[in-house]
A and B are shown apart, each in its own frame.
Chain A
Amino acid sequence: MSKPTLTTAESVRRLILATLPERDRAGANPVIFGPGADLDSLGLVNFLSDLEYRLAAEFGRELVLASERTMSRTRSPFRDVDSLAAYVVELLGEEKR
């Protein structure tokens, strides 16, 4: 597995921020889902769905972000922008199965 470049990490973060509703983009590491977040579960579905299409367009990979792995983590990757960006970069770094 090759180490993701800074460019990939940055463009993932940019995509995430661009996909988030404007009112939810405030702060250095905006909260996405959970306590203190605006998005409800349907809002999260919309956001993740939009992000999956944007990631496919940008990186040519058909990712499913709500995977079993996501659900079993102690800390949800959907909590904030940094966590989600790190998770997406991890997925993109994996060999296509």
Chain B
Amino acid sequence: MKKLSRVILITGTSRGIGRGLAEHFLKNGDTVCGCSRGPATLRHRRYAHWELEVSDEASVVAMVREVVRRHGRIDALVNNAGIAAMNHALLTPAATAQRILATNFQGTFLFCREAGKAMVRRKVGRIVNFTTVATPLRLEGEALYAASKAAVESFTQVLARELGGTGVTVNAVGPTPVPTDLIRNVPDTKLKALLARQAIHRLGEVADVANVVDFFLSPRSGFVTGQVLYLGGVNG
């Protein structure tokens, strides 16, 4: 029997983990709708790209509704888009704080709200939000980034309860550092110190993240919701 192609919406697909996940799902036969601030870096017949700011309500509404109009549904939402800024909290400009919260939290919220509405109507759906090990590790120098992701975790858990029984699950994955642009500017000594705090002292790979996302997206994971799963043996 031919496997049914899922419609998966992923944010932040121009590079890093988001792009890796998009390639992973395309290889799997799924249809991927992605977005980023810039143009598409991925060309595939089952990939469609939207150029937008994830914190812009009108753009998010327009994208999600267009995806639903084109495909009739959204099977899964993967809220990967995120930004980080290494800085001492006392030296963080308000504009930087606002930007981090807007992209990491507001973007996640807006996509959850709009895709969630479409999923609740069909009584089925999977939402996976992205957090980070920086939150449970209370990483110095990442106060704003960690706080924005703490908000994502809390939101994930409450939304999971609000949607409990609708067929829509909401979970979060917390990757360790993965060699992408996001950690390009993290000094080597900092990175080594962070890895030392993990149970398994290595950088993560996109495949590690994809494995967790696959688990949350599985039809058999319908009873798994409101969970935050960190990689590398980090505990919340």
Question: Which residues does A use to contact B, with CB under 8 Å?
Answer: 42, 45-46, 48-50, 52-53, 56, 62, 64, 97
**Which residue of chain B has the shortest Cβ distance to A41 in the bound complex?**
B162
For this complex, 14 residue pairs linking A to B, each with C-beta atoms less than 8 Å apart, are A42-B166, A45-B117, A45-B120, A46-B120, A46-B121, A48-B117, A49-B117, A49-B121, A52-B65, A53-B65, A53-B68, A62-B65, A64-B61, A97-B58
**Which residue of chain B has the shortest Cβ distance to A50 in the bound complex?**
B121
Q: A64-B57, A64-B61 known; A42 and B121 CB under 8 Å? A: no
Total B residues in contact with A, Cβ cutoff 8 Å: 11
**B 101-136 to A, binary, CB cutoff 8 A, 1 in contact else 0:** 000000000000000011011000000000000000
* CA A48 to CA B114, docked complex, whole Å: 12
Closest CB pairs A-B (n = 5) = A49-B117, A62-B61, A62-B62, A49-B121, A46-B121
Q: Using Cβ atoms and an 8 Å threshold, which residues of chain A touch B61?
A: 62, 64
Chain B, interface SS category: helix
Q: Using Cβ atoms and an 8 Å threshold, which residues of chain A touch B65?
A: 52-53, 56, 62
Q: Using Cβ atoms and an 8 Å threshold, which residues of chain B touch A46?
A: 120-121
Q: Is A49's CB under 8 angstroms from B166's CB? A: no
Q: Using Cβ atoms and an 8 Å threshold, which residues of chain A touch B118?
A: 49
For residues 54 through 68 of chain B, which have their beta carbon under 8 Å from a beta carbon of chain A?
Answer: 57-58, 61-62, 65, 68
Q: Is A49's CB under 8 angstroms from B120's CB? A: yes
- Shortest beta-carbon distance from B121 to chain A in Å: 6
* CA A45 to CA B168, docked complex, whole Å: 14
Q: Using Cβ atoms and an 8 Å threshold, which residues of chain B touch A62?
A: 58, 61-62, 65
* CA A65 to CA B166, docked complex, whole Å: 21
**Which residue of chain A has the shortest Cβ distance to B66 in the bound complex?**
A62
Q: Which of A49, A52, A56, A62 has the most CB of B within 10 A?
A: A49
Q: Using Cβ atoms and an 8 Å threshold, which residues of chain B touch A45?
A: 117, 120
**Which residue of chain B has the shortest Cβ distance to A64 in the bound complex?**
B61
**B 73-95 to A, binary, CB cutoff 8 A, 1 in contact else 0:** 00000000000000000000000
Known contacts A46-B120, A49-B121, A53-B68; 4 additional CB pairs below 8 A are A45-B117, A49-B118, A50-B121, A62-B62
**Which residue of chain A has the shortest Cβ distance to B166 in the bound complex?**
A42
* CA A64 to CA B121, docked complex, whole Å: 16
**Which residue of chain A has the shortest Cβ distance to B62 in the bound complex?**
A62
* CA A42 to CA B68, docked complex, whole Å: 20
**Which residue of chain A has the shortest Cβ distance to B61 in the bound complex?**
A62
* CA A45 to CA B61, docked complex, whole Å: 15
- Shortest beta-carbon distance from A17 to chain B in Å: 18
- Shortest beta-carbon distance from B142 to chain A in Å: 31
Q: Using Cβ atoms and an 8 Å threshold, which residues of chain B touch A50?
A: 121
Q: Using Cβ atoms and an 8 Å threshold, which residues of chain B touch A48?
A: 117
- Shortest beta-carbon distance from A95 to chain B in Å: 14
**Which residue of chain A has the shortest Cβ distance to B123 in the bound complex?**
A46
